[in-house]
Amino acid sequence: MQSSPAEERLVIDRFLAGDPEAIHTVDRWIDAVLREDFQSLRQEWEDLKQEIRSRVVRNFGRGAFNGHSTLRTYVHRIARNAAIDFSRLAYRRHEVGVDLPEPKLTGTALQAARLGILPNKELLERILGELSEGERVLLRLVFELHYSYQEVARELGIPEGTVKSRMSRCKDRVLRLREELEAMK
């Protein structure tokens, strides 16, 4: 059921005013995202929900909802992004530690799967060998260490937009290299 922009604005205003019904509505939307896609974080849901609610309040408070999607979809997007960020931080906190390890990318099936290329190990090693050190570091930060683009930008001291464009070019290069190397077989 589609809500009108006026009804959605009312939900936002009531949520920001602390209305229990509006809060319950937004909480249901958040819970739906967590149940659907983030069962692995179940033990962390209460902390995660607080982070999501905080982001929702910030975005609602600054008028970030522009009506290009439904309010429910907007909250879903915030919840999904917060859960992904939370998952990345939890992974690094438990698996990697605080120091950034040496940028040696040896290649794994997981990295290849996330790139959407799924080559065998030998092909993956050849592809990674063709990449520049900077490209390998970028892939490692994003796919192995699970850094967000914002975190990569901070780590490398470059703008986030630069990270996004470099990542896009790097993915394109990896796919081209795969095609070229497979054609040489």
The verdict on residue 173 lying in a domain is yes
Rounded Cα distance, 77 and 67, in Å = 13
Our count of domains for the chain comes to: 2
**Whether 39 and 80 share a structural domain:** yes
The answer as to whether 137 is a domain residue is yes
Amino acid of residue 90 = A
Q: Is residue 102 part of a domain?
A: no
- What pLDDT is recorded for position 90? 62
Q: What is the Cβ-side half-sphere exposure of residue 46, based on CA atoms within 13 angstroms?
A: 1
Residue 104 lies in a domain: no
pTM here is 0.51
Confidence of residue 136 (pLDDT cuts 50, 70, 90): confident
| Residue 30 pLDDT exceeds 70 | yes
CATH code for position 116: 1.10.10.10
User: Last residue of some domain: 46, 61, 96?
Assistant: 96
Kind plus residue range of the DSSP H or E element containing 144: none
pLDDT for 24? 94
- With bands split at pLDDT 50, 70 and 90, how would you rate the model's confidence at 110? very low
Structural domain ending residue among the three candidates 43, 65, 96: 96
How high is the pLDDT of residue 27?
93
- At residue 101 the predicted structure's pLDDT band, cuts being 50, 70 and 90, is very low
Which CATH number characterizes residue 25's domain?
Answer: 1.10.1740.10
- Domain assignment present for residue 101? The answer is no
Domain identity same for 127 and 76: no
- The tens digit of pLDDT for each residue in 151-178 reads 888 888 888 888 888 888 888 888 888 8
Q: Are 74 and 123 contained in the same domain?
A: no
Residues 144 and 91 in one domain: no
Domain that residue 171 falls in? 109-183
Q: Do residues 89 and 31 both lie within one domain? A: yes
**Are 13 and 90 members of one domain?**
yes
Q: What is the mean pLDDT of residues 78-82?
A: 89
Report how far residue 108's alpha carbon sits from residue 32's, in angstroms, rounded to the nearest whole number: 33
How many helical (H) and strand (E) elements, i.e. helices and strands, does the chain have? 9, 0
